[in-house]
Amino acid sequence: MQIPQFTELHAKQLSTFLNTQPQAMTLEQSEGYLFGVICSPSPLDVHEWLAQILPNTANDLDEEMLFLFMALYHKISEQVFETGYKLPVEFNLEFCKPWSEGFLVATKAYAEPLLNAPELDAEFKQALESALSTLSFFALDQQAVTQIAAQNNMTSDALCQYQYESMGDFALGFAELIEVVAINSGLITDDSWDE
């Protein structure tokens, strides 16, 4: 069976399905999570990432749902490596907060080792820290957002709008940045990824 093109209808079906599963990520969390997984220097196989999205139920997935998840993965992967990853045009906290939360779950496995790699140049470390903090910004609680806005003499709304625009820019080049950082960190040699 061929993996279908991921459509709005598929998004609705997956979202409805995820909402019925205990402890499952939402569709938006899944999107942020898969974006982080796809950009990883050591990609996960299907069963590994599915187990994160659907704890306890990933192995009982029927074929149709499995193919919808595969189609979502394929769509995000295509955007990351070919067409350019696009966030929704308008800022929407209902999308951004769970997306950032999912992204954080995915990058936790590889961000720390990269940032702590002794061979990594300061400029690469700073670029990675900026990208990670921007893409995960909306996972912060409201109090932290208000505090950051105050420190920068901005309203929370203005800060969120600014962060969202920056998020789009960072999302476009994140996979490339991870590749460059991974190679320069000395943690990646040939095709291996040493933790």
The CATH class given to the 8-193 domain equals: mainly alpha
Write out pLDDT tens, residues 105-116.
Answer: 999 989 999 999
> So what's the pLDDT on residue 1?
53
For the segment 97-122, the average pLDDT, to the nearest whole number, is 92
> So what's the pLDDT on residue 58?
57
For the segment 48-54, the average pLDDT, to the nearest whole number, is 93
For the segment 13-39, the average pLDDT, to the nearest whole number, is 95
* For residue 192, pLDDT beyond 80: no
* For residue 4, pLDDT beyond 80: no
- The pLDDT confidence band at residue 54, using thresholds 50, 70 and 90, is very high
Would you say 103 and 174 are in contact if contact means Cβ atoms under 8 Å apart?
no
* For residue 57, pLDDT beyond 90: no
118, 160, 172, 183 from 194: Cα distances, Å:
14, 36, 26, 12
Global pTM reads: 0.91
* For residue 146, pLDDT beyond 50: yes
Mapping DSSP onto H, E and C, the string for 30-89 reads HHHHHHHHHCCCCCCCHHHHHHHHCCCCHHHCCHHHHHHHHHHHHHHHHHHHHHCCCCCC
Domain spans of the chain?
Answer: 8-193
* For residue 193, pLDDT beyond 50: no
